[in-house]
Structure 1
Amino acid sequence: MNTLFSEAIKLKDGVLYNLDYHQMRVNRTLQQFFGTSIDLSVLAQLIPEDKKSGLYKCRVLYNTRIVSVECTPYQFRSIQSVGVVNANHISYDYKYADRSDLNRLLEKSGCDDMILIKDRLVTDASFANLVFQSPNGLYTPTSYLLRGTKREYLLDKGLIQEREIRQEDLTQYERVFFINALIDLEDNISMDIQSLRYLT
């Protein structure tokens, strides 16, 4: 059986957001693993009428074809605790449907989410890319695990900048924001740096 990949797309009031960025990521994945492509524009025809009002997470499972599409109501996560965790064994270059390694690490941390550290470098959270706020601006690590669509969009718009961020650099920042396809910077899913729990 072919490896399954997933794509989570923001669906708001019947509109699929940043579809071009999702298409680029799907294309990279399919070229790497199967040497093929699929067209995500067909998703617009698959959205049920009762999902065309409100905010939904549109989860697409695919390999050489679209296997399933599921649209579920989306609510922002409450993040009260964030652990800084060693993740040298974690690899998530592509958006695999199987997230069991990340899920186990999150459960072990005992926190709502994690900042994952590989070779002393800051990477991602369990479900999001990271943006760090300093007096000089907003920065995202060059050492990300997954090339997130919202991260790419914000970089292209010049709203954030890339920078190498090591674990020992964290105290130079004031706040960390969690971003993904459904979470924008202005949604303020974030944590004060001084509140991080160091579990490495």
Structure 2
Amino acid sequence: MFRLVETIKLNDGVFENIDIHNERFNNSRKTLFGVENSIDLNEILHSCEYNKTGLYKCRVVYNKEIIKVEFVPYVLKQIKSLKVVRAEIDYSYKYEDRSDINKLLELRGSCDDILIVKNDRLTDTSAANIAFFDDDRWYTPLYPLLKGTEREKLLRERKIFEEDLRLDDLKRFHKAAIFSTMVNFGEIIIPVSNIVY
């Protein structure tokens, strides 16, 4: 049976965005494995032993039930350029097996990461969602590979807005923000001119 991962930011003893993580975790269990009972991730995580200081990536590996919980120290990776890569892959759930994405990442050349284009639509980088700024608003692709929890939070707060973005739309924008569970919105911003075709 395949496995999924829920990645949660643990920052100085606080599990961030835990309610949205809990939602996605239980929705994935119900949709993919037909499990009706909910598990409270907040309760499970607080019963684990973990450091109360520092920044950690908490990885919950699961299918019908939780298989393991691990805590890995996290250091922000600098991303200054993206290579556009076309692919027809499915990553609508946060699968533990990322081999298809890792193969695409090998195509980045001298760039730091990739921007995946699927069906001529902009989606995500290899490990994060993305949004583009047009001097007025931040727009995130309507069809991401994965609907990340930070993306969901920013949409609910109306800090970013969904739009059906195609590769040709890049010329409308000046800069791009790369964000994920572990990367706050605004921590990594690059000029759109650093996106290489």
- TM-score, normalised by the number of residues in structure 2: 0.94
Q: Is contact 1:4–1:96 with CA below 8 Å preserved after alignment?
A: yes
What corresponds to 2:68 in structure 1? 68
1:89-104 alignment, distance < 5 Å = 89-104=88-103
Q: Is contact 1:38–1:64 with CA below 8 Å preserved after alignment?
A: no
Distance 2:59 2:53 in 1: 17
- The reply on whether 1:43 has 2:45 as its aligned counterpart is yes
Partner deviation per Cα, 1:9-59 (whole Å, 9 max, x = no partner)? 0001111000110111111211111121432121111132xx110111101
Q: Which amino acid is the alignment partner of residue 38 of structure 1?
A: I
Q: Is contact 2:85–2:107 with CA below 8 Å preserved after alignment?
A: no
1:124-135 alignment, distance < 5 Å = 124-135=124-135
- The reply on whether 1:21 has 2:20 as its aligned counterpart is yes
Q: Which amino acid is the alignment partner of residue 39 of structure 2?
A: I
Identity of aligned residues (%): 42
What corresponds to 1:54 in structure 2? 54
1:165-184 alignment, distance < 5 Å = 165-184=165-184
Q: Which amino acid is the alignment partner of residue 31 of structure 2?
A: Q
What corresponds to 1:118 in structure 2? 118
Report how far residue 116 of structure 1 moved: 0.6
1:83 counterpart SS class:
strand
Distance 1:190 1:77 in 2: 12
**After the TM superposition, which segments of 4 or more aligned residues of structure 1 sit over 6 Å from their partners?**
none
Q: Which amino acid is the alignment partner of residue 41 of structure 2?
A: L
Q: Is contact 2:92–2:146 with CA below 8 Å preserved after alignment?
A: yes
Distance 2:17 2:89 in 1: 27
What corresponds to 2:194 in structure 1? 195
Q: CA RMSD in A?
A: 1.1
- The reply on whether 1:163 has 2:163 as its aligned counterpart is yes
- Count of equivalent residues: 193
1:126 counterpart SS class:
coil
Report how far residue 108 of structure 1 moved: 2.2
2:114 counterpart SS class:
strand
- TM-score, normalised by the number of residues in structure 1: 0.93
1:109 counterpart SS class:
coil
Judge which range, 103-112 or 172-181, deviates more. Answer: 103-112
Distance 2:186 2:164 in 1: 23
1:46 counterpart SS class:
coil
